[in-house]
Amino acid sequence: MATKDNIKKKIKFPTMILFLLATTFVFGGAAAIVAYATGEEVAQETKMVMISHTEYRFSEPGQIISRLVDFQGNPVVVQNCTATILYPDKSIFVNAALMTASTNITGDHYYQFTTPAGPEGVYEYQSTCTYAAGSKTASVTNSFHLSSAFSNVLGNLTSMTAQLTSIEGNISVMQTDITNIANNLSSINASLSQDMVDLSNQLNSNTSTILAEFTTIQANFTHVIDDLHNMNSTMVTEFTNIASNFTAIGGQLTTVQNTLNTQFANLQLNVTQILDAIGNVTIDTQVLIDAHNLILGNLTDIDTDLSVILSNQAAMNITIEDTNFVVNAMNGTLSSMQTVLNTVDTTTGNTYTYLTGTLANNVNQILTDLGVINATVNRIETYSTEINATTNTILDNQEAEVHMTTFSG
């Protein structure tokens, strides 16, 4: 609805133009036309703008900044500037509070305040400046938004900060644990190294002992082989002698047999002669006595020959017994050697079994445990890397949130 003042203003401008035109033609007032044509009157007009609009949270520092400039952007000298802030229900929160001129940026004026604890909503504010020696005023209106969400964000950030502090503490504990694990691994490595050195020394010592034993056994085998060679030579000699003795005995038996044959032949002849004599002649007692004596002499020779045969047989039996004794002694020595060889074979087998079995299993178990520990350390390092990455991401997000939510006019 148009008011009387508005109608007067609308009428005043054309009337002023007509008046100026008439003056120009009548009085030659070309200078006045030039003044409007060059924009001097327009240049005298000022423009005031508000340069801030912010989202705030409850009970945090806020600031209103305004600037009064002419059409060229040059600051205008003011007498004072005031700020008024309204609640969302349009009731007054700040009423015409005096603003402060900036000492660093000429033309800027600011008002600092603390946002209320509520209610949430849009707060309208106005900055009004007086200039031209107090004859003119200019004002500009803007708004800011007050939200509890930022308080929640702050609480969340505080909670996240606490969680990050807890995570940092956990990381510190984990780093301590990792350090302890590294120290334990170093200790285990040193212990294993020493155990391996001791085991190597023990194995070298045992190997040296076993080699020495094998050397001794080899020497004993050499002596045994030499003894066997000597015994073989002796036995060959003995068997040769035995063979010679048997040959001699055979010869003697042949001689005895021949002697017996001869004696029996003689006896048969004598008996035949005796029988013939008995049959042909008259029995002579003396002849019978001589025949009897001859038979006794022959029997005596036969008995002597049999004694020689029995003596040779006894000597042969003694030689065979000696041979059996030597063979039995050799069998005992070979049995003892076999026992020693079995013991050495058992010791060597046990040593090989220990080296390839128990010791190898222990070394494999140690290597397996080291692999498990190494995998555990790698998983811990992986978890640490993931935690560091997560922490860096949270920090980046927090910093991004902080830059975004704390940006204000």
Residue 313 to residues 72, 236, 252, 305, 391: CA-CA distances in angstroms?
A: 160, 21, 11, 12, 112
Q: Report the pLDDT value the prediction gives residue 59, as an integer from 0 to 100.
A: 94
Structure tokens at 351: 């040593």
pLDDT along the chain (409 residues), means of 10: 42 36 37 43 61 82 93 92 97 97 94 96 96 94 88 66 78 80 79 79 80 80 74 74 73 74 74 67 64 76 76 70 74 79 79 78 80 80 81 64 32
Burial of 268 (0-12, 13-18, 19+ CB in 10 A): exposed
User: What is the model's pTM?
Assistant: 0.33
3-state secondary structure at position 294 = helix
Bridging pattern class, strands 136-147 and 55-57: parallel
pLDDT score at 400: 38
What does the domain layout of the chain look like in residue ranges? 1-44, 46-134, 186-388
How many whole angstroms separate alpha carbon 276 and alpha carbon 294? 16
Q: What is the 3-state secondary structure (H, E, C) of 132-194?
A: CCCCEEEEEEEEEEEEHHHHHHHHHHHHHHHHHHHHHHHHHHHHHHHHHHHHHHHHHHHHHHH
Going across the sheet that includes 46-50, the strands are: 46-50, 61-70, 108-114, 100-101
Q: Listing from the earlier edge strand, what are the strands of the sheet with 121-131?
A: 55-57, 136-147, 121-131, 78-86, 92-98
Q: Tell me, what's the pLDDT at 406?
A: 28
Instruction: Say what the pLDDT of residue 143 is.
Output: 94
Rounded Cα gap, residues 368 and 374, in angstroms: 10
Nearest to 196 by CA among 362, 371, 370: 362
Q: Which fold has domain 46-134?
A: Immunoglobulin-like (2.60.40)
**pLDDT tens across 350-403, in order?**
877 877 888 778 868 878 887 887 888 788 778 778 878 887 887 666 543 333
Cα separation, 362 vs 346, in Å, equals 22
Nearest to 82 by CA among 91, 70, 94, 69: 94
The answer to whether 151 and 116 have CB atoms below 8 angstroms apart is no
